Amino acid sequence: MSQEEPEYVPERMPTRVAFLEALNGIGIAAGMGMLWIMEIVRNRYFKLLDWLNFKPRTRRASAFPPGQAKHHAVREARR
């Protein structure tokens, strides 16, 4: 009972789709390359700081300025 399997014939990809897929691959590769270069720059920057013997901040950095918070008047919402 040997049953012969039909031969697989792939569908032809339209030229426009193939071109867009190639552009997509180039974009992904370029993005990964940029991330890799940014990582190299970051590593070199921190190595330079280590070499110059810069100490890390001793005081915690804050997004808010020191002093008493300013109170703003609250207005009614328009309806």
As a whole number, the mean pLDDT across the chain is 87
Instruction: Name the token pair of 18.
Output: 């193939």
What CA–CA distance (Å, rounded) separates 47 from 11? 53
Prediction pTM value? 0.51
Higher pLDDT, 27 or 74: 27
**3-state secondary structure (DSSP) of residue 5:** coil
